[in-house]
Amino acid sequence: MTEELRFGPDGSFKIVQFTDLHWQNGEAEDRRTAQLMERILAEERPDLVVFTGDIIYSRGCKDPYASVTQAVSVVARTGTPWAPVFGNHDSEGDVSRARLMETLTAQRGCLGSAGPASVHGVGNYSLAVAGADGTTRHVLYFLDTGSYSELAQVPGYDWVREEQIDWFRAQAAAMRPSEAEAPPTSLVFFHIPLPEYREVWRTQPCDGRKYEDISCPRINSGLFAALAETGGVLGTFCGHDHINDFEGTLLGIRLTYGRATGYHTYGRWGFKRGARVIELKDEGRRYDTWIRLAGSRKLTAPRTHRPWKWKLF
């Protein structure tokens, strides 16, 4: 944990979420990505930047470690604190997640860490945001959702493992002042959406757009249950699906996609690159969120999807 992050005098704290940069070697598309990030940072002036995975497309990089340094340098040179998690494309082939994290933590402003060696993955950690009195008011959790299934009988993407869920529960319990007091509020960041993202779109009104399938793992390992049971979790933020940006609330927790930032990957005509912005209010007791697009447009009220309700006659 760290107390380097603090709410402002007005009780607010702003986060910019960049996701799916797919940086490769600083090529022309990467330069467009960098320019977009620079504009968004200048417009929003965040207190923290979060990279939610696929920072690089490792198979297309001549030197993945040089590429990941280039990708985050846009934020690092501003002096803004930032925190990363990895996606499935960051460490394909023989690229080491551990070495990628070592490379990132050596850069200016990085608050990330590899996390406990006993916990599956690289990049399971938490950051505290302190209030005016210096005590922790809000906690940000970061989880490694892995890459691809390691089981031949289970196709598709990886899932959060049991020891990661146990780690989250232990962290949340340690942050609780006492059994009689409510835990600090929190947000959770990862790359691959949980199966509950599919459920929330199917069953609840959602703001935003869904232009592709929700690429969640086939196995539901129970992270969402842990988030609901521990209390205090206000929302989760993921990337991975580049042309989804919706948000919906399930059992009191807001499940939210970022907005794909990188130009070096697939997209959709008319679906501009951008970033999600999260502004915590009242020292973390609530938050607002919006999307900042290329061209400076701010999306504050995206269209609402309502699930079909079948009636039997």
pLDDT digits (tens, 9 = 90+) for 215-268: 999 999 999 999 999 999 999 999 999 999 999 999 999 999 999 999 999 999
How, if at all, do strands 253-257 and 233-238 pair? parallel
pLDDT classification of 281: cutoffs 50, 70, 90? very high
Inter-axis angle of helices 97-105 and 64-76, nearest 10: 30
Longest alpha-carbon distance in the chain: 64
The residues near 164 (Cβ < 8 Å, ≥ 6 apart) are 119, 120, 121, 124, 143, 144, 223
Nearest C-alpha neighbor of 187 from the set 256, 268, 266: 256
User: What was the pLDDT predicted at 303?
Assistant: 65
Q: What is the model's pLDDT at position 181?
A: 77
**Which residue do the tokens 């005098």 mark?**
9
Distance (Å, whole) CA 176 – CA 113: 22
**What φ, ψ does residue 163 adopt, rounded to 5°?**
-70, -25
Q: What is the pLDDT of residue 313?
A: 43
The pLDDT, as a whole number, for residue 309 is 56
Strand partners, 290: 277
The answer to whether 149 touches 217, Cβ cutoff 8 Å, is yes
* Residue type present at position 158: D
Q: Note the pTM of the prediction, 2 decimals.
A: 0.95
Q: Is 142 helix (H, G, I), strand (E, B) or coil?
A: strand
Rounded distance, CA 40 to CA 110, Å?
A: 19
Residue 203: pLDDT band (50, 70, 90) is very high
Give the per-residue pLDDT at 40.
Answer: 97
Q: Where are the alpha helices (DSSP H) in 77-143?
A: 97-105
CA gap 192, 79 in Å, rounded? 28
pLDDT at 129 > cutoff 60:
yes
Average confidence (pLDDT) over 79-93? 97
Contact 86, 97 (CB under 8 A): yes
pLDDT band at 302 (very low <50, low <70, confident <90, very high): low
CATH topology of domain 5-305: Purple Acid Phosphatase; chain A, domain 2 (3.60.21)
Tens of pLDDT, residue by residue over 88-117, are 999 999 999 999 999 999 999 999 999 999
Q: How far is CA 237 from the centre of its chain?
A: 4
Closest of 137, 131, 70 to residue 100, by C-alpha: 70
pLDDT the model gives residue 296:
82
3-state DSSP call for residue 185? strand
Q: State the virtual CA torsion across 161, 166, 172, 174 in degrees, nearest 10.
A: -140
- Is a pLDDT exceeding 90 seen at residue 307? no
CA dihedral sign, ordered 164, 170, 171, 172: positive
Average pLDDT, the chain: 94
d(CA 227, CA 116): 20
Phi-psi region of 270 (alpha: psi -120 to 50; beta: other; left: phi over 0): left
308 pLDDT more than 80: no
Three-state DSSP state, 168: helix
Q: What is the pLDDT of residues 146-188, one digit of tens each?
A: 999 888 899 999 999 999 999 999 999 998 877 767 789 999 9
Share of the chain above pLDDT 70, in %: 96
Render pLDDT for 42-57 as a digit per residue (tens, 0 to 9). Answer: 999 999 999 999 999 9
